[in-house]
A and B are shown apart, each in its own frame.
Chain A
Amino acid sequence: MKVFRFFLTRVFLRKPIFAIGALILFLMANYMAFLTAHSVLSTREGYQQMAHFDKEGTFVANLDPDSDFGNKDISKASIQKVYDRLDSRYHYALYTDGMMTNLANGRGVKVPVSYMNQRYNDLDGFPIAQGSGLTFDYSLVRNDAIPVLVGEGLADDYPLGTQFKMHDPALLREVRVKVVGVIAKNSVRSNFYALNSKKYYNFSVVVPVTTAFIKQADVSFNINALNDLVLSDTDRADVSELGDYIDKTIGAKFNLYSYQDNIDYYNEYLFSSLRFLTVASGLLLILIVLLSVWSALISVRVMMRDFTINLMVGLSYGRLRRLFYAYYAGLSLIALLAVFAMAAYSRHSYWRKKDAFLMTYGLCGMIRMDWLALLVASLFDFLLVAMLAQLTTWRLRRVPISLGVLQ
Chain B
Amino acid sequence: MDKVIDLNLDYKTYRKGSSSVTLLEHFSLTVTEGEKVAIVGESGVGKSTLLNILGLLDTRYEGSYRLLGRSARTLSDLESAAWRNEKIGFVLQESALISSLSIEDNIRLPLLYARTPRKGDSRRFDQVVDSLGIGSILSKKPLECSGGEKSRAVFARAIIMNPEVVLADEPTASLDSENRSRIIALLFALNRDSGSTIVTVTHDASLADQHDRIIKLQ
Contacts and interface: CB of A to CB of B under 8 A. Distances in A.
Partners in one complex: yes
A139 interface: no
Contact of A314 (B96, B99, B113): B113
Contacts of B90: 312-313
A26 B81 CA distance: 32
Among A14, A314, A406: residue with most chain B CB under 10 A:
A314
Given A306-B98, A313-B109, A405-B96, A400 B81 contact: no
Given A401-B57, A405-B92, A314 B100 contact: no
B179 interface: no
A313 B93 contact: no
B77 A316 contact: yes
A318 B99 CA distance: 25
B81 A311 contact: yes
Contacts of A10: 98, 100-101, 105
Nearest to B52: A402
A395 interface: no
Given A305-B98, A406-B93, A310 B109 contact: yes
Contacts of B82: 314, 316
A314 B84 contact: yes
Interface in B51-102: 51-52, 55, 57-58, 60, 77-78, 80-82, 84-86, 90, 92-93, 95-101
A122 to B, nearest CB: 67
A319 interface: yes
B145 interface: no
Contacts of B21: none
A353 interface: no
A322 to B, nearest CB: 11
A306 to B, nearest CB: 5
Interface string A301-330: 000011001111111111100000000000
B81 A319 contact: yes
Given A306-B98, A309-B97, A400 B114 contact: no
Grouping DSSP codes into helix (H, G, I), strand (E, B) and loop, the A interface class, with mixed when no group exceeds half, is: helix
Contacts of A319: 78, 81
B195 interface: no
Contacts of B81: 311, 314-317, 319
A319 B84 CA distance: 14
Contact of B100 (A14, A316, A406): A14
A311 B52 CA distance: 13
Interface in A1-18: 2-3, 6, 10, 14
Contacts of A316: 77-78, 80-82
Given A14-B100, A312-B57, A406-B92, A317 B77 contact: yes
Contact of B113 (A305, A313, A318, A401): A313
Given A309-B96, A313-B157, A316-B78, A402 B112 contact: no
5 contacts: A305-B99, A312-B96, A314-B82, A314-B86, A400-B52
Given A10-B105, A312-B84, A313-B157, 19 more contacts: A10-B101, A309-B96, A309-B98, A310-B109, A313-B109, A313-B113, A314-B84, A314-B85, A315-B81, A315-B113, A316-B77, A317-B77, A318-B78, A400-B52, A400-B58, A400-B60, A402-B51, A402-B58, A406-B92
Interface of B: 48, 51-52, 55, 57-58, 60, 77-78, 80-82, 84-86, 90, 92-93, 95-101, 105, 109-110, 112-114, 157
